[in-house]
């Protein structure tokens, strides 16, 4: 659950990260929390990030999709878009997330689609629309990330492909 084997990245982005020895699918995955929640990244570019998450296992006591689960999906997708926009010299750090929950979901998968609202030099904002399997909107979210330069201490936290830098 949560493996990112079939993510579609633009080839120029894959090449840019490969030159640094960075494992792109691992870097732009759902992370530990997203993996525990079953988040799957389906497509990823700075223009559009798509991911899914099962409702089962991510519900509140009434059996409905937990609003916090929708927030995790939204922040994951918006962060990936922001990181891809920022490029290899930046990391994206979420500074604002808001979610409006429109309807409940009790089963199946929800799908989130993140698209940019603003892509600047120091911030990126994405709108994330989460829908159920009937294509009904479950949640609307907006995430703003600060884009900051990668520091030397950040490098140890990046997943590497096992290739030396520049290889």
From 139, 59, 66, 68, select the one nearest 101 (Cα to Cα).
Answer: 139
Radius of gyration of the chain (CA): 16
- Going by the DSSP 8-state scheme, the letter that residue 79 receives in this structure is H
Walk across the sheet containing 137-149 and list its strands.
40-44, 49-54, 109-119, 123-131, 137-149, 90-101
Residues classed as catalytic: 75
Identify which of 95, 13, 16, 23 has the alpha carbon closest to the alpha carbon of residue 46. 13
Of 52, 68, 50, 67, the C-alpha closest to 115 is 50
């Amino acid at each position: 659950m949560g493996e990112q084997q079939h993510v579609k990245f633009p080839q120029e982005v894959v090449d840019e990260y490969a030159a640094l020895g960075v494992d792109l699918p691992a870097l732009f995955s759902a992370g530990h929390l997203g993996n525990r929640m079953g988040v799957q990244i389906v497509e990823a570019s700075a223009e559009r990030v798509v991911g899914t998450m099962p409702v089962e296992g991510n519900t509140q006591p009434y059996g409905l999709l937990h609003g916090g689960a929708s927030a995790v999906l939204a922040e994951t997708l918006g962060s990936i878009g922001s990181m891809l926009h920022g490029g290899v010299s930046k990391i994206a750090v979420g500074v604002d997330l808001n979610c409006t929950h429109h309807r409940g979901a009790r089963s199946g998968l929800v799908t989130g689609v993140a698209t940019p609202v603003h892509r600047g030099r120091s911030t990126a904002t994405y709108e994330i629309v989460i829908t159920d399997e009937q294509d009904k909107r479950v949640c609307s979210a907006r995430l703003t990330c600060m884009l900051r330069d990668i520091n030397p201490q950040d490098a140890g936290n990046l997943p590497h492909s096992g290739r030396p830098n520049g290889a």
